[in-house]
C-alpha cells in the first residue's frame, strides 16, 4: 500500500484552507493545519475531517521551522495572509509582514526541513493592478495588499530558481463561497439580501457597482491547487474562470435568489485611495497543462451563498 502523502496547510481555518483540507482528507492524505493559539474555538466548527493541528504563525519563523521539521510534508500550501484589500491602507506594515515576511518564513522552513516538498503559494490577481490576463501580463499593483503579495510572488520565483525548490504560485482571481467572511463584498451582498428578505435590514449600501471581477468558486480553485501540487514540474498558473461580471450583476442575482427587489441597493463612493475597476483572468495555461477548468457558474455560486445565508437566519430564528 502506497504511503499516505502529508500535506501542511497554512491558513487552514479560512475559506480556502477549510475546503482544501476537506479535499485532501477525502483523498486519504495526512493533513496538518496551522493555527494560532486564540483559534481553538474555530477548530471544532470546521468540517474538514481528520486534520491534525499544529500551533504557530507564518510571521513567527521559529514556529514554522518546528512545524515543518516535525511534519516533513510532501505538499505545503501557503494560504495564510492578511487578505482584505481595503484594510491594507490602514495597516500596510502588517500586510507586508504577514504576506511577504510570512511567505519568506514558509520558504525558509521548506528549504531547510522539507527541500523535496512541493510548495503552492496563493498569489492573487490584485498583483496586476488593472485588467489581469495571463501569467506573463504586466503586474502593477495599486494597493499595499497587492504590493505585499507581489513581493511574496517574486520571492517564490527567486527561491525556485536559486535553490531549485519545487515552488508554484497560484495566481488566483476572486473566489467565493458560503464560507467567505462577511467583510468581503460578495458575502456582504448575500447576507444583506437574506436579511432584507427576513425583514431584519432595510437596504444595502455599496461602493461603485460598476466594478468587474472574475469570480469563481473557492472549492473549484482548491482542486486546482491540488493538481498544481501533484505536477512534477513547478510552475505558476492563473486560476480563474476567464469571464468577468459586474458587482451590479452580483447584486441582481443575489436579490433575485432572495426574492426581493434590487432597488433597495444604494451606491456611495468607496474609502480606498485607489481601486481596481476591472479584472479578468486567462486560465488557458492551467486548462491545457493540468486539465483544470472552473466547474461552478457565477450564478450558481451566488445562489448557493444566498441559500446558505437564508438557512442560517432560519436556524437563528428557531434557536
Active site residues: 124, 126, 145
Which residues lie closer than 8 Å to 300 by C-beta, 6 or more apart? 217
DSSP string of the chain? -PPPPEEEEETTTSHHHHHHHHHHHHTT-EEEEEE-GGGHHHHTT----SEEEEE--TT-HHHHHHHHHHH--SEEEE------GGGGGT-HHHHIIIIIIHHHHHHHHHHHH-TTSEEEEEEEGGGT-SEEESTTS-----SHHHHHHHHHHHHHHHHHHHH--EEEEEEE--EE-TTS-TTSHHHHHHHHHHHHHTTS-S-EEES-TT-EE--EEHHHHHHHHHHHHH-SS---EEE--S--EEHHHHHHHHHHHHTS-GGGEEE---S-SS---BEEE--HHHHHHH-----S-HHHHHHHHHHHHHHHHHHHHH-
Residue 202 grid cell: 432595510
Rounded Cα–Cα distance for residues 126 and 132 (Å): 8
Which residues lie closer than 8 Å to 222 by C-beta, 6 or more apart? 16, 19, 20, 23
Residue 51 grid cell: 486534520
For 39-44, which contacts have Cβ atoms below 8 Å and span 24 or more sequence positions? 39/13, 42/13, 43/13
Amino acid at each position: 500500500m502506497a504511503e499516505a502523502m502529508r500535506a501542511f496547510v497554512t491558513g487552514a481555518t479560512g475559506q480556502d484552507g477549510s475546503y482544501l483540507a476537506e479535499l485532501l482528507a477525502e483523498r486519504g492524505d495526512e493533513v496538518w493545519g496551522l493555527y494560532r493559539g486564540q483559534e481553538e474555538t474555530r477548530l471544532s466548527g470546521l468540517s474538514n475531517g481528520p486534520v491534525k493541528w499544529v500551533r504557530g504563525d507564518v510571521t513567527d519563523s521559529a514556529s514554522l521551522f518546528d512545524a515543518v521539521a516535525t511534519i516533513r510534508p510532501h505538499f505545503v500550501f501557503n494560504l495564510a495572509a492578511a487578505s482584505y484589500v481595503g484594510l491594507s491602507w490602514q495597516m500596510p506594515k502588517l500586510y507586508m509582514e504577514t504576506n511577504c515576511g510570512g511567505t519568506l518564513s514558509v520558504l525558509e522552513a521548506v528549504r531547510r526541513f522539507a527541500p523535496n516538498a512541493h510548495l503552492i503559494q496563493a498569489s492573487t490577481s490584485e498583483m496586476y493592478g488593472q485588467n489581469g490576463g495571463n501569467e506573463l501580463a504586466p503586474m502593477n499593483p495599486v494597493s499595499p495588499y497587492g504590493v505585499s503579495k507581489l513581493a511574496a510572488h517574486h520571492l517564490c520565483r527567486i527561491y525556485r530558481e536559486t535553490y531549485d525548490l519545487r515552488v508554484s504560485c497560484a495566481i488566483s482571481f476572486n473566489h467565493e463561497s458560503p464560507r467567505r467572511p462577511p467583510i468581503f463584498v460578495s458575502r456582504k451582498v448575500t447576507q444583506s439580501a437574506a436579511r432584507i428578505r427576513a425583514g431584519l435590514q432595510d437596504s444595502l449600501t455599496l461602493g461603485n457597482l460598476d466594478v468587474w471581477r472574475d469570480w469563481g468558486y473557492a472549492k473549484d480553485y482548491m482542486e486546482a491547487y491540488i493538481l498544481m501540487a501533484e505536477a512534477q514540474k513547478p510552475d505558476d498558473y492563473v486560476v480563474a474562470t476567464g469571464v468577468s461580471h459586474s458587482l451590479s450583476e452580483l447584486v441582481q442575482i443575489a436579490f433575485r435568489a432572495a426574492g426581493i427587489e434590487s432597488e433597495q441597493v444604494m451606491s456611495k463612493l468607496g474609502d480606498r485611495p485607489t481601486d481596481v475597476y476591472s479584472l479578468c483572468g486567462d486560465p488557458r495555461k492551467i486548462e491545457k497543462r493540468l486539465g483544470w477548468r472552473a466547474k461552478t457558474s457565477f450564478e450558481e455560486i451566488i445562489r448557493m451563498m444566498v441559500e446558505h445565508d437564508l438557512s442560517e437566519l432560519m436556524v437563528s430564528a428557531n434557536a
